[in-house]
Amino acid sequence: MNHPLSKNHKIQLKPTSFPEGIRKEISSKFMSNYSQIGIKSLGCPPGTVPILRVQKDVLRRSNVIPNRPGTDVPYSPGHHIIVAQTKINENMKYHGTRTYMAVYTPKVTADQFSEGAIWITNQLNSIRVGWTVNPTLYGDNRTHLFGYWTVDADGFNQTGCFDIRCAGFVQISAETTLGLILEPTSHGRVQYEGLFHVFQDSKTGDWWLSILPHDLLIGYWPKYLFTSLASHANEIAWGGEVFSPLNEPSPPMGSGQFVIRDMQLTCYARAIQIIDEYYNYKDLRNTAINIEGYNSKCYGASYVGFRRYIGYIVLFGGAGGGDCSG
């Protein structure tokens, strides 16, 4: 709450409104191979929130991430991103998305990262949420829940940050927090998935984050942090992102494989729903989806479309390697 715009902010303990419509849980015998990741309840006393302990050297390194070339500025050298995204239409207004995503632990070196995420954007205003392996940020090679935000005022250079490492995100959950380790993670044909859900409160304009289990509310990004994203998003995306110094081979993305139409080998987002201009949940039927890849020679993405009992699906990932320039 040290953000200068938080001076008169009244903390919300829950949204004043939720998106409307049926959120149908999709399951079948086929999906019995997919289990939910474990979210450890930290069990803090009522009226308090958990804050992760961070070693001083890790905090020092992570604080320079936004200014390190290629790390947070998309499409720069060493930075690879491939997603399925809604086609930009000035007349379309989105207020969030909800999806189950397979969670992995790809191997990365100390200066690399690899993640699976959802993007909610309007111009250069952005919220990014998902899972990541990022030794620079967390000091280990385990998979963490993360959130990132920025605004267009400075083109990713000074505003915004990961998790709660700068003023902005308002943590309300006493059970869990951004940065928490996610485990177990997927391996081989044994897959674990998490629910990632970001939605905008129709009354306050704040952007809320909830995850498994049972849409557990973690907190929110207040409307006043943003400019264009304060009213709505004009683009939603699902996919993967990696970074590597140019002198190192690019790391794996997702499962490290991209096998078209094989969910049991490839990282996925499934049962995808978007929240439309009327704050209603809807599936991707009649929504134009594009595949966008930047420096993505080593990675792939596919919009599979609808599968019975599983919903609308996006697959993404790849092995990485020594020559991944697009």
The reply to whether 14 falls in a domain is no
Within-domain flag for 325: no
Residue in 56, 58, 74 with CA at minimum distance from that of residue 128 = 74
Chunked mean pLDDT (size 10), the chain, 326 residues: 62 88 50 65 78 64 43 66 87 93 96 96 91 94 94 58 85 89 91 94 96 84 93 96 92 95 93 95 94 84 92 96 79
pTM: 0.88
Query: Is residue 276 included in any domain, yes or no?
Result: yes
Query: So what's the pLDDT on residue 20?
Result: 87
Question: Is 18 within a domain?
Answer: no
CA distance 3 to 251: 35
With a CB cutoff of 8 Å and minimum separation 6, the contacts of 21 are 280, 281, 282
Nearest to 49 by CA among 209, 212, 179, 177: 177
Write down the pLDDT at residue 7: 63
* pLDDT score at 72: 47
Structure tokens at 236: 């939603």
Q: Which amino acid is at 217?
A: L
What six digits make up the tokens of 250?
């690019």
Contact 209, 104 (CB under 8 A): no
Residue 197 lies in a domain: yes
10 is a domain residue: no
Parent domain of 246: 27-317
Tell me if 193 sits within 8 A of 147, measured CB to CB.
no
Query: Is residue 171 assigned to a domain?
Result: yes
Burial 197-233 (b: 16+ CB within 10 A, else e): bbbbbbebbbbbbbbbeeebbbbbbbbebbeebbebb
Contact 258, 316 (CB under 8 A): yes
* Residue 37 placed within a domain: yes
pLDDT at 12: 86
pLDDT of res. 88: 77
59 within 8 A of 161, measured Cβ to Cβ: no
pLDDT of residue 295: 66
Number of structural domains in the chain: 1
